[in-house]
Amino acid sequence: MPMSKARAVVLTITAAVIAVSARADDTRQLVTMPAPMVQHMLANMRDHLAAITEIQRALGVAEYQRAADIAEKRIGMSSLESHGAAHMAGFMPQPMQDIGTQMHKAASRFALIAQETGADGNLARAVAALSTVTEQCVACHAAYRAH
């Protein structure tokens, strides 16, 4: 049976109200940056997620040096320049910058630990170190949004 026009209108309004209230419930702080910079940041983010996945895959097949290299180059302190971090940091509130710094440091620490795992086979410690990286992803996403 085709939906009546009135019913369609009510449904549309209900959907709009739900969308608006979802925003009202969103307590994350909006960080305003020029649009191209937001796009650049989101592209970095997608690469971070890809990198974490590749690290997990490398750990899963005991390629510890590979896991270390990905972490250092794509998320660690060595990634700062290629990500244009200094340029973007100016737009971020200080606590957000600090979480970003903690993430880069945690990734570089993980890289060292993954190399040690190559020598001593202590995979549990490497996995625990990786979670200190993703904890920073979680902390920042819980507090801030870009759009």
Cβ-based nearer residue to ligand HEC, 5 or 46? 46
- How far apart CA 69 and CA 83 sit, in angstroms, is 16
Distance (Å, rounded) from C-alpha 132 to C-alpha 105?
Answer: 10
CB of 81 to ligand HEC, least distance (A): 17
Q: Is 100 left (phi over 0), alpha (psi -120 to 50) or beta?
A: alpha
Q: Using CB under 6 A as the criterion, which residues of the chain lie in contact with ligand HEC when the complex forms?
A: 42, 45-46, 48-49, 52, 75, 96, 99-100, 103, 133-134, 136-137, 140-141, 144-147
- Closer by beta carbon to ligand HEC, 10 or else 26: 26
Pick the closer one to ligand HEC by CB: 12 or 21.
21
Q: Which tokens is 35 given?
A: 């649009």
